[in-house]
């Protein structure tokens, strides 16, 4: 059984439902399990999460991506703990007032935790409904139509129905090669009768994402600790840690230009190869420059021991950059020492 599912006969805990649903946004079930258990160990209830430091929440979230979800998670916990007495709102409409809670998430929480008659239409449920009714309107325009069909099917036990529909989509009505003979809805599935089940739901054409390029600078001291700096509190990867970066543009900077973007003078060596990472709206390619120091240069940032890099708020792309910088051998110390 999924770790966030309530045992048979017991009411689901709204905190656990909310936590799992926020984590599952744009993330697979397989990826979420370990993070979910870790969060519950660190913060077993909403008041504990509200009292946590944002940096600690971001560090525990690192690797799940879409870090605005973690910031909204923390902000919503504070609202529930400090303004609502630690009790989650009882309806989908009131749940939507919480940071990071949209229509689907509100419906899922209210249906699963409170049995409110709501259609929790995640990607799995949308796929089932699109095929059941042979909805051929392209996504995301089809969402309103799919939600209406879903709402018409919701029975009295809305929470059980919501989870059953999600499970049906993830285990049987899969995006490729659905197991139609095993599906309890097979006899009524309009898409199967038309032989178009694998073509639904119709996806919108993929947008071409622009490509950005730049340089990153991995500085390491004699103990192996790596210099990281904190990103601005707003914008992409807000408040997360990163190695010092140069500017992002259409082309890689020349070595001479990249060294002018370095955080300080040093014997920077460019590693072979590049680091690639895809964001929602653009692709990023990064060249990595590395320097080692016997004495730490004076620079505002944090020196993080190598064994602690997985414990801090270092997003996946920045972890890839650091690991690429540390991957190759070379002299442990720079021959050039920074000034006092």
**Residue 309: CATH number of its domain:** 3.90.79.10
Q: In this structure, is residue 51 part of a structural domain?
A: yes
Domains in the chain, number: 2
- Judged on CB neighbours under 10 Å (0-12, 13-18, 19+), 204 is exposed
Residues 113 and 215 in one domain: no
Segments forming the whole domain that contains residue 253? 211-327
Tell whether omega for the bond before 140 is within 30 degrees of 0, i.e. cis.
yes
The domain boundary residue, chosen from 118, 133, 155? 118
pLDDT digits (tens, 9 = 90+) for 185-198: 999 999 999 999 99
Q: In this structure, is residue 236 part of a structural domain?
A: yes
CATH number at residue 34: 1.10.340.30
In the structure, what pLDDT confidence band is assigned to residue 330 with cuts at 50, 70 and 90?
Answer: very low
Residue 233's pLDDT is 87
The domain boundary residue, chosen from 92, 118, 144? 118
Residue 337's pLDDT is 40
Q: In this structure, is residue 189 part of a structural domain?
A: no
Residues 219 and 321 in one domain: yes
DSSP symbol at 12: P
Active site residue 21: yes
Residue 325's pLDDT is 92
Contact between residue 27 and residue 65 where contact means Cβ atoms under 8 Å apart: yes
Among 21, 116, 242, 287, the one annotated catalytic: 21
Q: In this structure, is residue 47 part of a structural domain?
A: yes
246: left (phi over 0), alpha (psi -120 to 50) or beta: beta
Q: In this structure, is residue 162 part of a structural domain?
A: no
The answer, as to whether pTM is greater than 0.95, is: no
The domain boundary residue, chosen from 84, 118, 152? 118
> How far is the C-alpha of 153 from the C-alpha of 117, rounded, in Å?
10
At CA 275, angle to CA 264 and CA 287, rounded to 5?
Answer: 35
Residues 4 and 114 in one domain: yes
């Amino acid at each position: 059984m999924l770790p966030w599912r309530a045992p048979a006969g017991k009411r689901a805990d709204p905190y656990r439902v909310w936590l799992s649903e926020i984590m599952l946004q744009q993330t697979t079930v397989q990826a979420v399990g370990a993070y979910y258990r870790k969060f519950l160990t660190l913060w077993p209830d909403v008041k504990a999460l509200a009292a946590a430091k944002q940096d600690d929440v971001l560090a525990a979230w690192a690797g799940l991506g879409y870090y605005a979800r973690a910031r909204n998670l923390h902000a919503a916990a504070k609202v529930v703990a400090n303004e609502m007495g630690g009790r989650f709102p009882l309806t989908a409409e009131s749940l939507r007032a919480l940071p990071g809670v949209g229509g689907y998430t509100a419906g899922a929480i209210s249906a699963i935790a409170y049995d409110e008659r709501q259609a929790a239409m995640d990607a799995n449920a949308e796929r089932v409904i699109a095929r059941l009714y042979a909805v051929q309107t392209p996504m995301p325009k089809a969402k309103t139509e799919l939600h209406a069909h879903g709402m018409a099917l919701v029975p009295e036990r809305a929470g059980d129905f919501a989870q059953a529909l999600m499970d049906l989509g993830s285990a049987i009505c899969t995006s490729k090669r659905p197991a139609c003979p095993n599906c309890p809805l097979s006899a009524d599935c309009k898409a199967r009768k038309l032989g178009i089940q694998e073509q639904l739901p119709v996806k919108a054409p993929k947008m071409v994402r622009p490509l950005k390029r730049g340089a990153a600078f991995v500085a390491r001291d004699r103990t192996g600790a790596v210099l990281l700096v904190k990103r601005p509190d707003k914008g992409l990867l807000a408040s997360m840690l990163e190695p010092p970066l140069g500017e992002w543009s259409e082309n890689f900077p020349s070595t001479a230009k990249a060294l002018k973007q370095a955080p300080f003078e040093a014997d920077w060596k460019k590693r072979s190869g590049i680091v690639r990472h895809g964001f929602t709206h653009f692709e990023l390619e990064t060249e990595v420059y590395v320097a080692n120091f016997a004495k730490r240069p004076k620079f505002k940032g944090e020196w993080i021991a190598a064994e602690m890099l997985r414990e801090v708020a270092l997003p996946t792309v920045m972890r890839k950059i650091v690991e690429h910088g540390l991957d190759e051998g070379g002299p442990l110390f720079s021959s050039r020492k920074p000034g006092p």
